[in-house]
Chain A
Amino acid sequence: MVLTEEEKRVALEQTGSILENYPPDRGNLIPILQQVQEKLGYVPLVAMEEVARHLGVPAVDVYSVATFYNQFRLIPPGKHQVKVCMGTACHMKGGHIILDCWKRRLGIDVNQVTPDREFSLERVACVGCCTMAPVTVIDDEVHGKVTPTRVDGLLFSFGVKIPKGQQKEGETVEQG
Chain B
Amino acid sequence: MSRDKVIKENFTKLQQKSRAAWESLRERPLILVGTATCGRAAGALEILKVIKEELAKSGLEASVLEVGCMGHCYAEPLVTVYKPGFPPICYGYVTEGIAARLVQDFLGGDDPCLEFALAALEANDMVPAFTDFPRGMIEKNIILDKCGLIDPENIEHYIALGGYAALAGALGRDPGQVLEEIKASGLRGRGGAGFPTGRKWETCRLAPGEEKYVICNADEGDPGAFMDRAILESNPHQVLEGLAIAAYTVGARQGYFYIRAEYPLAVARVKKAIEQARQAGLLGTNILGSGFDFDVDVFQGSGAFVCGEETALIASMEGEPGLPRHRPPFPATAGLRGKPTVINNVKTLSYVPHIVERGARWLRETGTDGSPGTAVFALAGKVINTGLAEVPMGTTLREVVYDVGSGIPGGKAFKAVQIGGPSGGCLPESALDMPIDFDSLSQAGAMMGSGGMVILDEDDCMVEIARFFLDFTQKESCGKCTMCRLGTRQMLDILEAITRGQGKPGDIELLLELAEDVKAGSLCGLGKTAPNPVLSTIRYFRDEYEAHIKERRCPALMCQSLIAYYILPEKCERSCDACVGSCPVEAIYTNEDRIKVIDQQKCVKCASCLEACPPQYKAVIKLSPPELVNEMGA
Contact = CB atoms under 8 A, between A and B. Distances in A.
B386 A128 contact: no
Contacts of B263: 128
B582 A34 contact: no
Interface in B370-397: 378-382, 386-387
A92 B586 contact: no
Contacts of B230: 128
Contacts of B318: 26-27
A129 B37 contact: yes
B401 to A, nearest CB: 15
Contact of A68 (B42, B223, B321): B321
Interface in B1-47: 37-38, 40-42
Contacts of B586: 164-165
Contacts of B456: 92
B606 A125 contact: no
B608 A149 contact: yes
B607 A130 contact: no
B320 to A, nearest CB: 7
B421 A88 contact: yes
A176 B460 CA distance: 43
A126 B319 contact: no
Contacts of A25: 319
Contacts of A68: 304, 321-322, 478
Contacts of A97: 605-607
A142 B302 contact: no
Given A72-B302, A104-B584, A142-B37, A128 B220 contact: yes
Contacts of A165: 586
Given A92-B456, A100-B606, A125 B319 contact: no
Nearest to A68: B321
Contact of B226 (A130, A140, A149): A130
A118 B577 CA distance: 33
Contact of A131 (B76, B220, B302, B303): B76
A20 to B, nearest CB: 18
Contacts of B128: none
Given A126-B223, A128-B220, A144 B302 contact: no
B319 A29 contact: yes
Contacts of B421: 88
A126 B387 contact: no
Given A68-B321, A72-B302, A101 B584 contact: yes
A91 B418 CA distance: 13
Interface string B463-493: 0010011001000101000000000000000
Contact of B321 (A27, A65, A132): A65
Contact of B585 (A29, A69, A104, A130): A104
B500 interface: no
A29 to B, nearest CB: 3
B316 interface: yes
Task: Using C-beta atoms within 8 Å of the partner chain, give the interface range for chain B.
Answer: 35 or more
A28 B297 CA distance: 13
A125 B37 contact: no
Contacts of A130: 224-226, 378, 380-381, 386, 452, 454
A82 interface: no
A77 interface: no
A91 B468 contact: yes
A70 interface: yes
Contacts of A148: 582, 584, 606-608
A131 B38 contact: yes
Contact of B224 (A65, A70, A88, A100): A88
A37 to B, nearest CB: 9
A144 B42 contact: yes
B41 A135 contact: yes
Interface string A152-176: 1000000000001100010000000
B284 interface: no
B528 interface: no
Interface string A19-54: 000000111111101100000000000000000000
B42 A127 contact: no
B231 to A, nearest CB: 11
Contact of B299 (A31, A94, A105, A169): A31
B223 A125 contact: yes
Q: Most chain-A Cβ atoms within 10 A of its Cβ — which of B37, B40, B224?
A: B224
A86 B605 CA distance: 18
Contacts of B320: 26, 65
Contacts of A131: 38, 73-74, 76, 379-380, 386-387
B315 to A, nearest CB: 10
A154 to B, nearest CB: 13
B321 A128 contact: no
A109 B591 CA distance: 35
A64 interface: yes
A14 interface: no
A81 interface: no
Given A29-B319, A69-B302, A71-B261, A142 B606 contact: no
B262 interface: yes
B105 interface: no
A128 B387 contact: no
A86 to B, nearest CB: 7
Given A89-B381, A126-B223, A69 B41 contact: no
Interface string A80-122: 0000001111111110110011001100000000000000000
A30 B223 contact: no
B486 to A, nearest CB: 18
Q: Most chain-B Cβ atoms within 10 A of its Cβ — which of A30, A70, A89, A144?
A: A89
A133 interface: yes
Interface in B525-549: none
Interface string B215-241: 000001111111001100000000000
A170 B16 CA distance: 63
12 contacts: A30-B300, A91-B468, A92-B460, A125-B305, A126-B225, A127-B262, A128-B226, A129-B37, A130-B224, A130-B381, A131-B73, A132-B41
Given A88-B381, A169-B585, 14 more contacts: A68-B321, A69-B322, A89-B224, A89-B454, A96-B560, A124-B262, A125-B262, A128-B229, A128-B230, A132-B76, A135-B41, A147-B611, A148-B584, A148-B608
Nearest 5 interchain pairs by C-beta: A29-B319, A88-B224, A87-B223, A130-B380, A69-B302
